């Protein structure tokens, strides 16, 4: 088979492929449609449940069956995404109005996941059937083929309320994200009615009905004045606070009870919130809280903070709002698929699309109903007329040889081959001229329909049909009539499914928290050989000085407002705030340093610990196993990051010594092979943190530094090599980068 080679620019092909992929994700996966407010996976799951007959008044069915059927027929993107969508639609703490009635463990507000789909069951909610799926049989929406063209699925559901606002939406597409908060059904319905009555209404006018978001977790929106701009542009940030109540406790004490939380706190963030409160207590940011308990249940949120007597409640509330997620922001980006493309929409635009969609649904619905009534009218008129000439029709039936012969006579007046009792009957039969549908109805009519009462019923049905036709024609031809029908349906939905508003809306001033001044006091920082740290006061240290100096690896005198630099052999510096280190008794175990910084005991070991105040005005000397040395100005370690690279190392090298020495000090380097070199510290150049340094001593093949000693202020450490003492103060003073003297 001959082929043709098509030459194309690789970048053009990649660009087109990526755009196609991005649009597929945007339109077919991640973003909701502005008309029904549903993502494709949600729409397909609900439609599949409708097709399976899992209605609100029927037994629950296993979620595994629903997920498998949806994946096999409509959504071939994996069972986990379908089940996750099903679970979210059943969680009342995430949705303003649940669409699925879940039976079993569907997760909790505290972040617990749902049980596996083989254990849980579900069925449609009544609101889903009545408001989302009710008119699917009336050809009100377009259907299209599924992924393998073996089934047909609705391209949009005939949702009768602005679900995009009522339930909100969130999703991440390629290069864009949607985040729409949920709203109150009653308020949104009133806004739709106002839009129908006045299509020129402004966003400001609509906000007389839609006060703001209504989160299922309650809470308080505190930036009311910013909402008009958010609803005008479709973008902005909403500040939400949890609801805090003050309760009396025993002994004249009080407690703070959090009964509602920000919508953004649901899930794992509740646990983080409790940890943040515990951190405030540990770091002495507050001393008013004596106990924390989470008493939340299915009935609602209840987080209790027991307070000491005389606690400053107002300041504590401000502290919680400022330092924890009890006040948080919800980023609004009302992005949805409108007319086949992603678009950021304001409140008015969303309602405009919804109203247009409702009129489209109503038009198609009543056109369909009108067609059915007109067909019914045609048949009824034929039957009524047939009752008037029933004797002639019976004569035709008795004189005919086949159904087709009778039908031809009734429709076209063909009398050939039919035996009549008289020529008059034959002439009358030739003039009947029923329609084909009427002829079929007459032939299918049963004899009991000839009873007088049945004829009266037929006449009444015909009158009803004529009334329906007139009504449907009025609805289709008159805007006000169609608007009245839509509004009537909205009112019925509002009466049956609305609930009171949960989220309060107000204007509140920005929290200004005056930090309590910490009383500065000298403390002693202790770190043992296992890396546990704590601080004690100086009096306690003096009483236990001998034990502290013996048992502790590092003992640092500093202020409680100071910071300490922890240097490791991997060349890193970890910065600890003394206020973060637990203060207690001498025999307290302390806290692992790993909990206070990014120290990794599997990759690094402690080399030195220094108070930042002691070194920031001096220079710090680094010595490595490969005899690289340098000095760094201490101010370079005064940083905001908890962990930084304190020095650069060559491959296979490690920091052996970090020391803040005086310029007059002498440095003695000792090697594994027994060489010792003494030279003035002033010969070591000052470098940046990012530098490797210079060579301090020439090493023989396979040799490395094993000891670094300092001679300063008349002090001289005792050194041994091969079990023999080495008097380093008697060593000849050499120069940096020499071989040194062999110990004897």
Active site residues: 119
H-assigned helices in 258-310: 268-282
Phi/psi at 629 (nearest 5 deg)?
A: -130, 155
H or E segment and range at residue 440: helix 436-444
**Distance (Å, whole) CA 575 – CA 632:** 16
- Strand, coil or helix: 70: helix
- Strand, coil or helix: 598: coil
Structure tokens at 399: 């004189």
CB atoms within 10 A of CB 291: 11
SS3 string, 414-428, reads CCCCCCCCCHHHHHH
Q: Is the dihedral of CA 516, 517, 521, 525 positive or negative?
A: positive
**Distance (Å, whole) CA 237 – CA 332:** 6
**Distance (Å, whole) CA 72 – CA 60:** 20
**Distance (Å, whole) CA 84 – CA 42:** 10
| Contact criterion met (CB below 8 Å) for 236 and 226 | yes
Residue 132 Cα distances to 74, 127, 186, 450, angstroms: 18, 7, 17, 43
Structure tokens at 347: 């409140």
H or E segment and range at residue 348: helix 347-388
**Distance (Å, whole) CA 84 – CA 17:** 29
Phi/psi at 348 (nearest 5 deg)?
A: -65, -40
Q: Which residues pair with 121 in a beta bridge?
A: 62, 103
Rounded to the nearest angstrom, the gap between the alpha carbon of residue 74 and the centroid of all alpha carbons in its chain is 25
**Distance (Å, whole) CA 671 – CA 677:** 9
CA-atom Rg of the chain in angstroms: 42
Q: Which residues of 409-436 are buried (b: 16+ CB within 10 A; e: fewer)?
A: bbbeeebeebebeeeebbebbeebebee
Strand ranges (E), 538-596? 554-559, 563-568, 572-577, 591-592
| Contact criterion met (CB below 8 Å) for 268 and 276 | no
């Amino acid at each position: 088979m001959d082929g043709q080679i098509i030459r194309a620019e690789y970048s053009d092909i990649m660009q087109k492929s990526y755009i196609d992929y991005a649009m597929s994700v945007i339109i077919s996966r991640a973003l909701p449609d502005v008309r029904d407010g549903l993502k494709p996976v949600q729409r397909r799951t609900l439609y599949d449940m409708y097709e399976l007959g899992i209605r609100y008044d029927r037994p629950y069915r296993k979620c595994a069956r629903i997920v498998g059927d949806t994946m096999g027929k409509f959504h071939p993107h994996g069972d986990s995404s379908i089940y996750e969508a099903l679970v979210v639609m059943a969680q009342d703490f995430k949705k303003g109005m649940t669409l699925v009635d879940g039976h079993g463990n569907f997760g909790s507000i505290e972040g617990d996941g749902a049980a596996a789909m083989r254990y849980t069951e579900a069925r449609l909610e009544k609101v889903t059937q009545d408001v989302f799926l009710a008119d699917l049989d009336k050809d009100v929406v377009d259907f299209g083929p599924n992924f393998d063209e073996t089934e047909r699925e609705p391209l949009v559901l005939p949702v009768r309320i602005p679900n995009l606002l009522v339930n909100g939406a969130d999703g991440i597409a390629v290069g864009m994200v949607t985040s729409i908060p949920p709203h109150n059904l009653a308020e949104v319905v009133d806004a739709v009615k106002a839009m129908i009555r006045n299509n020129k209404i402004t966003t400001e006018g609509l906000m007389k009905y839609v006060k703001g978001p209504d989160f299922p977790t309650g809470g308080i929106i505190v930036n009311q004045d910013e909402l008009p701009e958010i609803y005008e542009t479709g973008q902005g940030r909403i500040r939400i606070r949890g609801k805090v109540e003050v309760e009396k406790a025993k002994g004249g004490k009080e407690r703070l009870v959090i009964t509602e939380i920000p919508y953004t706190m649901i899930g794992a963030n509740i646990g983080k919130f409790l940890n943040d409160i515990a951190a405030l207590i540990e770091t002495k940011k507050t001393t008013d809280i004596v106990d924390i308990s989470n008493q939340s249940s299915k009935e609602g949120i209840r987080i209790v903070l027991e307070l000491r007597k005389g606690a400053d409640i107002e300041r504590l509330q401000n502290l919680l709002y400022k330092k924890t997620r009890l006040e948080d922001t919800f980023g609004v980006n009302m992005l949805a698929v409108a007319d086949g493309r992603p678009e950021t929409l304001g409140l008015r635009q969303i309602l405009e699309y919804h109203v247009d969609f409702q009129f489209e649904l109503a038009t198609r619905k009543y056109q369909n109903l009108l067609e059915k009534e007109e067909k019914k009218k045609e048949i009824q008129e034929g039957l009524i007329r047939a009752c008037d000439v029933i004797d002639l029709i019976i004569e035709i039936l008795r004189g005919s040889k086949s159904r087709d012969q009778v039908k031809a006579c009734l429709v076209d007046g063909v009398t050939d081959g039919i035996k009549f009792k008289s020529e008059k009957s034959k002439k009358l039969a030739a003039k009947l001229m029923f329609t084909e549908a009427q002829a079929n109805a007459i032939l299918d009519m049963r004899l009991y329909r000839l009873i007088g009462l049945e004829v009266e019923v037929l006449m009444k049905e015909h009158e009803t049909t004529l009334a329906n036709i007139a009504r449907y024609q009025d609805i289709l031809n008159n805007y006000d009539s169609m608007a009245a029908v839509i509004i009537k349906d909205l009112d019925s939905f509002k009466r049956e499914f609305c609930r009171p508003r949960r989220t309060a809306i107000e204007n509140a001033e920005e929290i200004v928290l005056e930090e309590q001044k910490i009383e500065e006091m000298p403390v002693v920082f202790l770190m043992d050989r296992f890396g546990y740290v704590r601080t004690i006061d100086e009096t306690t240290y003096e009483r236990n000085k001998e034990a502290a100096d013996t048992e502790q690896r590092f003992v640092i005198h500093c202020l409680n407002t100071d910071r300490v630099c922890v240097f490791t052999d991997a060349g890193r510096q970890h910065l600890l705030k003394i206020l973060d280190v637990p203060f207690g008794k001498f025999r307290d175990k302390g806290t692992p340093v790993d909990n206070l910084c990014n120290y990794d005991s599997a990759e690094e070991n402690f080399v030195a610990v220094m108070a930042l105040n002691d070194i920031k005005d001096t220079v710090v000397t680094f010595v490595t196993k490969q005899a690289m040395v340098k000095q760094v100005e201490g101010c370079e370690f005064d940083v905001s990051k908890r962990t930084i690279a304190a020095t650069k190392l060559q491959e296979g090298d490690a920091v052996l010594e970090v020391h803040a020495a005086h310029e007059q000090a002498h440095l003695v380097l000792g090697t594994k092979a027994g060489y010792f070199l003494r030279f003035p510290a002033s010969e070591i150049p000052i470098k940046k943190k990012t530098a490797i340094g210079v060579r301090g001593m020439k090493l023989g093949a396979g040799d490395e530094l094993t000891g670094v000693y300092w001679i300063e202020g008349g002090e001289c450490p005792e050194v041994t090599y091969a079990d023999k003492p080495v008097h380093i103060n008697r060593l000849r003073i050499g120069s940096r980068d020499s071989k040194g003297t062999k110990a004897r």
